[in-house]
Chains A and B, each alone.
Chain A
Protein backbone atom coordinates (compact mmCIF):
# COMPACT_ATOMS: atom_id res chain seq x y z
CA UNK A 1 0.00 0.00 0.00
CA UNK A 2 1.29 3.43 -0.91
CA UNK A 3 2.08 5.94 1.82
CA UNK A 4 -0.51 8.39 0.50
CA UNK A 5 -3.26 5.95 1.47
CA UNK A 6 -2.35 6.55 5.10
CA UNK A 7 -2.52 10.30 4.80
CA UNK A 8 -5.72 10.85 2.86
CA UNK A 9 -7.97 13.22 4.81
CA UNK A 10 -11.55 12.25 5.50
CA UNK A 11 -14.50 14.10 3.97
CA UNK A 12 -15.05 17.58 5.37
CA UNK A 13 -11.88 17.68 7.39
CA UNK A 14 -9.83 19.87 5.07
CA UNK A 15 -6.17 19.03 5.44
CA UNK A 16 -6.64 17.36 8.81
CA UNK A 17 -5.55 13.78 9.03
CA UNK A 18 -7.73 11.09 10.54
CA UNK A 19 -6.93 9.54 13.91
CA UNK A 20 -4.98 12.56 15.13
CA UNK A 21 -5.82 14.78 18.08
CA UNK A 22 -5.77 18.54 17.51
CA UNK A 23 -5.44 21.46 19.88
CA UNK A 24 -5.96 24.78 18.09
CA UNK A 25 -3.39 27.41 19.06
CA UNK A 26 -4.74 29.93 21.57
CA UNK A 27 -4.88 33.53 20.39
CA UNK A 28 -4.94 36.11 23.15
CA UNK A 29 -7.91 38.45 22.89
CA UNK A 30 -8.78 39.83 26.28
CA UNK A 31 -8.60 38.79 29.91
CA UNK A 32 -10.85 38.64 32.94
CA UNK A 33 -10.10 40.76 35.97
CA UNK A 34 -8.04 38.82 38.54
CA UNK A 35 -11.15 38.54 40.75
CA UNK A 36 -13.28 37.10 37.97
CA UNK A 37 -10.43 34.86 36.81
CA UNK A 38 -10.03 33.20 40.20
CA UNK A 39 -13.79 32.60 40.35
CA UNK A 40 -13.98 31.16 36.85
CA UNK A 41 -10.77 29.16 37.00
CA UNK A 42 -9.17 30.86 34.00
CA UNK A 43 -7.73 34.25 33.14
CA UNK A 44 -8.76 33.85 29.50
CA UNK A 45 -12.41 34.14 28.39
CA UNK A 46 -11.77 31.84 25.39
CA UNK A 47 -10.84 29.06 27.83
CA UNK A 48 -13.87 29.45 30.09
CA UNK A 49 -15.85 26.24 29.63
CA UNK A 50 -18.21 25.75 32.54
CA UNK A 51 -19.81 22.35 32.93
CA UNK A 52 -23.55 22.49 32.67
CA UNK A 53 -25.82 19.98 34.26
CA UNK A 54 -27.72 18.13 31.53
CA UNK A 55 -31.50 18.37 31.54
CA UNK A 56 -33.37 15.15 32.05
Chain B
Protein backbone atom coordinates (compact mmCIF):
# COMPACT_ATOMS: atom_id res chain seq x y z
CA UNK B 1 0.00 0.00 0.00
CA UNK B 2 1.38 3.41 -0.97
CA UNK B 3 2.73 5.55 1.88
CA UNK B 4 0.19 8.32 1.41
CA UNK B 5 -2.72 5.86 1.45
CA UNK B 6 -1.45 4.47 4.75
CA UNK B 7 -1.38 7.99 6.18
CA UNK B 8 -4.81 8.67 4.72
CA UNK B 9 -6.16 5.57 6.48
CA UNK B 10 -4.73 6.78 9.78
CA UNK B 11 -6.39 10.17 9.29
CA UNK B 12 -9.74 8.53 8.52
CA UNK B 13 -9.49 6.35 11.61
CA UNK B 14 -8.71 9.24 13.95
CA UNK B 15 -11.31 11.42 12.24
CA UNK B 16 -13.95 8.78 12.89
CA UNK B 17 -12.93 8.50 16.55
CA UNK B 18 -13.16 12.31 16.89
CA UNK B 19 -16.66 12.23 15.38
CA UNK B 20 -17.69 9.44 17.77
CA UNK B 21 -16.46 11.19 20.90
CA UNK B 22 -18.12 14.43 19.76
CA UNK B 23 -21.49 12.69 19.32
CA UNK B 24 -21.11 11.07 22.74
CA UNK B 25 -20.23 14.40 24.35
CA UNK B 26 -23.35 16.02 22.85
CA UNK B 27 -25.40 13.89 25.24
CA UNK B 28 -22.76 13.58 28.00
CA UNK B 29 -21.30 17.11 28.28
CA UNK B 30 -19.98 16.51 31.80
CA UNK B 31 -17.95 13.37 31.04
CA UNK B 32 -14.49 14.78 31.62
CA UNK B 33 -12.71 11.53 30.84
CA UNK B 34 -14.15 11.32 27.32
CA UNK B 35 -13.68 15.07 26.85
CA UNK B 36 -9.96 14.58 27.46
CA UNK B 37 -9.91 11.68 25.02
CA UNK B 38 -11.66 13.86 22.47
CA UNK B 39 -9.14 16.69 22.78
CA UNK B 40 -6.24 14.27 22.58
CA UNK B 41 -7.67 12.62 19.45
CA UNK B 42 -8.41 16.00 17.87
CA UNK B 43 -4.84 17.12 18.52
CA UNK B 44 -3.38 14.06 16.82
CA UNK B 45 -5.84 14.50 13.94
CA UNK B 46 -4.62 18.06 13.44
CA UNK B 47 -1.02 16.87 13.53
CA UNK B 48 -1.64 14.04 11.05
CA UNK B 49 -3.46 16.36 8.65
CA UNK B 50 -0.74 19.00 8.82
CA UNK B 51 1.96 16.40 8.17
CA UNK B 52 -0.03 14.88 5.31
CA UNK B 53 -0.57 18.25 3.66
CA UNK B 54 3.14 19.00 3.88
CA UNK B 55 4.28 15.60 2.60
CA UNK B 56 1.67 14.85 -0.05
CA UNK B 57 -0.88 16.69 -2.12
CA UNK B 58 -3.13 18.64 0.30
CA UNK B 59 -6.31 16.86 1.40
CA UNK B 60 -8.69 19.77 0.95
CA UNK B 61 -8.90 22.41 -1.70
CA UNK B 62 -8.74 25.19 0.90
CA UNK B 63 -5.19 24.29 1.98
CA UNK B 64 -2.69 27.08 1.49
CA UNK B 65 0.44 24.98 0.92
CA UNK B 66 -0.05 23.73 -2.63
CA UNK B 67 3.26 23.27 -4.42
CA UNK B 68 3.97 24.03 -8.03
CA UNK B 69 2.81 22.35 -10.22
CA UNK B 70 -0.85 22.03 -9.16
CA UNK B 71 -1.28 18.39 -7.97
CA UNK B 72 -5.00 18.21 -7.20
CA UNK B 73 -6.15 16.45 -10.37
CA UNK B 74 -3.27 13.94 -10.24
CA UNK B 75 -4.57 12.37 -7.03
CA UNK B 76 -6.83 9.32 -7.31
CA UNK B 77 -10.52 9.92 -6.71
CA UNK B 78 -11.77 8.37 -3.45
CA UNK B 79 -13.45 5.50 -5.31
CA UNK B 80 -10.24 4.70 -7.16
CA UNK B 81 -8.37 3.87 -3.97
CA UNK B 82 -8.27 0.19 -3.12
CA UNK B 83 -8.05 0.18 0.69
Main secondary structure of the interface of A (DSSP, over half): loop
Main secondary structure of the interface of B (DSSP, over half): helix
Residue of B nearest to A42 (CB): B20
- Among the 9-residue stretches A4-12, A13-21, A33-41, the one with 4 or more Cβ atoms under 8 Å from chain B is A33-41
CB of A35 within 8 A of CB of B13, answer yes
CB neighbours (8 Å) of B72 from chain A are: none
Total interface residues on B, CB under 8 Å, equals 15
In the complex, A31→B19 CA distance in Å? Answer: 13
Q: List 18 A-B contacts (CB under 8 A).
A: A25-B27, A26-B24, A26-B28, A28-B24, A28-B28, A28-B33, A31-B17, A31-B37, A34-B14, A34-B16, A34-B41, A37-B13, A37-B16, A37-B20, A38-B12, A38-B17, A43-B17, A43-B24
Could you list which residues of chain B lie within 8 angstroms of chain A, going by C-beta atoms? 12-14, 16-17, 20-21, 24, 27-28, 31, 33-34, 37, 41
